[in-house]
Amino acid sequence: MQTPRLEIDLRSIAHNARFLSEFYARKGIQVTGVTKGVCGDPTVARTFLANGIRSLADARLENLRRLREAGIRAPFMLLRIPALSQADEVVRLADCSLNTEVKVLRALSDAARRIGRRHAVILMVELGDLREGIMPQDLPAVARSVLAMDGLRLSGIGANLFCFGGVQPGESNMGVLSRTAERVEREFGVKLEIVSGGATSNYRWASTAADLGRINHLRCGEALLVGGITLPMGGIPGMKHDAFKLVAEVVEAKQKPSRPWGDSVGADAFGTKRSFVDRGERRRLIANVGRQDIYAPEDLRPLQDVQVQGASSDHLVLDAGGDDMQVGDEIGFHLGYNSTLMAMASRYVPKIYLHEGETSGGTDTER
């Protein structure tokens, strides 16, 4: 079989979708399945939908278009706050979008009216992570504007944490979100259908907080795909972390010194100056995959007893450890979330689906 290739275990993804949707259903929280980590892959999206997930979200319009063109029918949410120049496409491709700017909201309203629709919007509240969000005290004014726009429906409010500033979701910031929802409802006499507390990183808060307040919705990608392995807790217990396996091939296997040598040893081709421990001569391997296909060497978990030393664009350098691997042997790695995204997006890596059909994620005509 071709190398490198990405093997996608749909049984693990189906397990994660059932596990997470049931876990959160018990807490009164609905989960939207985020497909940006798999570039809007329709087979993965179908697996979500066949296993308890009822709506889909992606950061990119291209991915939403891919899902629609594959014939997938579910409510679609756009995660990345829309660009003004894309208003027409947003209302055509997404049923709902996350927003922070009145100027954009007005354009979305006009675009929706032109095609005779009402576009649902969730207003994002800034809770300290400093990515997208309206400052809480400014939210009522924006809500007032939205309520006056004919092409829009104020579906709810939401927040995003642990992305830019590293701020974890917890009882205090989730409390602010709940109180902001109540304030909007009181002030305008409306009922907010969705209070979207965040993403995969809300897991610890959700599993430990005594009171989840008004939060009734989360947008989860990483948990569904790789079981939340990048959480500080290192993976959600009971979830599968092995859905994505990158298979590469050994293209060089040689005994070599473990430290670079030469007249002048400086930074590598990526501008990073590294230090190397001299471990004497070691058996070293090169595999045929690199930074064009993965995010970072640290994001790979080898399935053999080898250690990843680093990567350049097209070469992965390994210490052969206790394994007697030879040129031509295949070498497998489970991937973290970032490398999953890179491998999915790499046109050099074919995607192979395992257990398709067993996960009732088959074609739409079967359902």
Ligand X SMILES: *Cc1c(COP(=O)(O)O)cnc(C)c1O
Q: Which of 199, 206, 246, 294 binds ligand X (CB under 6 A)?
A: 199
Residue 65, phi then psi, degrees to nearest 5? -65, -40
Which among 83-91, 218-226, 256-264, 292-300 is the span making contact with ligand X, rule CB under 6 A? 218-226
Site map (CB under 6 A) of ligand X, residues 148-187, x = contact: ------------x---------------------------
Q: Which of 16, 35, 47, 200 binds ligand X (CB under 6 A)?
A: 200
Q: Which of 36, 103, 245, 256 is catalytic?
A: 36
Nearest one of 265, 254, 245 to 318, comparing CA atoms:
254
Nearer to ligand X, 35 or 346 (CB): 35
Region of 168 on the Ramachandran plot (φ > 0 left; ψ -120 to 50 alpha; else beta): beta
Q: Which two tokens stand for residue 119?
A: 């576009």
Which string of b and e fits 59-71 if b means at least 16 CB within 10 Å?
bbbebbbbbbeee
Helix, strand or coil, per DSSP, at residue 293 = coil
Nearer to ligand X, 202 or 359 (CB): 202
Nearer to ligand X, 24 or 320 (CB): 24
Smallest gap from residue 266 Cβ to ligand X (A): 36
Nearer to ligand X, 159 or 248 (CB): 159
Nearer to ligand X, 241 or 284 (CB): 241
For this structure, is 240 an active site residue? Answer: no
Smallest gap from residue 147 Cβ to ligand X (A): 23
Cβ-proximal residues to 59 (8 Å cutoff; 6+ apart), any chain: 36, 78, 79, 80
Helix, strand or coil, per DSSP, at residue 236 = coil
Rule CB under 6 A: is residue 221 a binding residue for ligand X? yes
Smallest gap from residue 200 Cβ to ligand X (A): 3
Smallest gap from residue 341 Cβ to ligand X (A): 9
Smallest gap from residue 36 Cβ to ligand X (A): 6
Residue list 22-61, contact with ligand X (CB under 6 A):
34, 36, 59
Cβ-proximal residues to 5 (8 Å cutoff; 6+ apart), any chain: 246, 247, 349, 350, 351, 352
Q: Which of 79, 125, 177, 341 binds ligand X (CB under 6 A)?
A: 79
Hey, what amino acid is at 29? I
Instruction: Please state, in angstroms and rounded to a whole number, the distance separating the CA atoms of residues 61 and 87.
Output: 11
Smallest gap from residue 268 Cβ to ligand X (A): 30
Q: Which of 220, 248, 287, 316 binds ligand X (CB under 6 A)?
A: 220
Find the angle CA(255)-CA(258)-CA(264) to the nearest 5 degrees.
120
Rule CB under 6 A: is residue 16 a binding residue for ligand X? no
Rule CB under 6 A: is residue 63 a binding residue for ligand X? no
Cβ-proximal residues to 77 (8 Å cutoff; 6+ apart), any chain: 32, 55, 56, 57, 58, 94, 95, 96, 97, 98, 122, 219
Q: Which residues bind ligand X (CB under 6 A)?
A: 34, 36, 59, 79, 98, 160, 199-200, 219-223
